[in-house]
Amino acid sequence: MSLPSSADQPTGFSGLTVAAFESRMADQMGKLIARHGGNPLVAPSMQEIPLENNSEALAFGQQLLSKQIDLFILLTGVGTRTLVDVWKTQFSLNDIKQALTQTTLVVRGPKPLGALKELALKPQLIVPEPNTWEDILSTLDSYRPEGLSGLTIGIQEYGTTNEKLMKALATRGAHVIGVPVYRWALPDNVEPLQHVLQAILSQSVDVILFTTGIQVTHIVELLNRSNNLNHFRQALNRIMVASIGTITSQRLHEYDFPVDLEPSHPKMGVLVKETSVKALHIVEHKRRNTS
């Protein structure tokens, strides 16, 4: 694919084709890319499905109301709200809120913090950016320098189990309970996503934007089905890959995918804007090195 010359003083993406895998925010992502001069190619990569059997979440709720949980880690805003909705099928909201005030609440960033505010609750600990599982551990180590031995800690999961976090907490002597609230699945119709992946494989895409690690997991699943994972990995040598933040970048690195840019703040608008400023230069550089 021919690129506009950087000598032409391009504005933003300058007509580059930009792929993204947003689902709920697909329209907004497409408009942001177009506003910054790009040709958007957006396909949903995931759907959020409540667990059909919430027995584990309900059992944890019973433990919480029975004052058996010492510390509760909330990882996502959507998961926090969904978990409360599950509990409300068996317990009163007042009892739920009372139970939450009787345990140490830890939130990973602003979204679960916002969910607690809706309940007029405040956490004892707020994990700072970039909100990785290592940051959670550092926050807890500072809060409990004597260690976590003997504590029962719940972790509100967010689609997948963070085995590294659970193992690290267990190593510190805690009894850890994962609380599954919802799971992520591929969309019912994967044809739009397959179309975008084929465009990437055929080198018809210049920039890819990732905003969550689940997107990475799902495109890898589809690529494995078609035996195209290695081909995709090779295609990324000529494409700029932008990740919204450290957690998403970690997932990309797990599959040996490059990360060419992380924005100054992990927000979608900032990601698109800052990527657009550097896209042409980075794409030109990568293609010179692989030509």
Integer Cα distance of 237 and 232 in angstroms: 9
Integer Cα distance of 155 and 172 in angstroms: 15
CATH number given to 49-184: 3.40.50.10090
Contact 72, 64 (CB under 8 A): yes
What is this structure's pTM?
0.68
pLDDT at position 35: 97
Q: What is the mean pLDDT of residues 51-75?
A: 91
Residues with Cβ within 8 Å of residue 88, at least 6 apart in sequence:
96
Q: Assess whether the region 6-46+189-290 and the region 49-184 belong to the same CATH fold.
A: yes
Q: Give the start-to-end residue ranges of the domains of the chain.
A: 6-46+189-290, 49-184
| Mean of pLDDT over the chain | 92
Contact 45, 186 (CB under 8 A): yes
Instruction: Write the pLDDT tens digit of every residue in 189-210.
Output: 999 999 999 999 999 999 999 9
pLDDT at position 9: 46
**Comparing 48-52, 59-63, 114-118, which segment has the lowest mean pLDDT?**
48-52
CATH number given to 6-46+189-290: 3.40.50.10090
Q: What is the mean pLDDT of residues 151-160?
A: 87
Is pLDDT of 187 > 50? yes
Instruction: Write the pLDDT tens digit of every residue in 78-119.
Output: 889 999 999 998 999 999 999 999 999 999 989 899 999 999
Is pLDDT of 166 > 90? yes
Place of tokens 């551990």: 137
Q: What is the mean pLDDT of residues 42-53?
A: 83
Is pLDDT of 253 > 90? yes
What is residue 8's DSSP assignment? G
pLDDT at position 1: 55
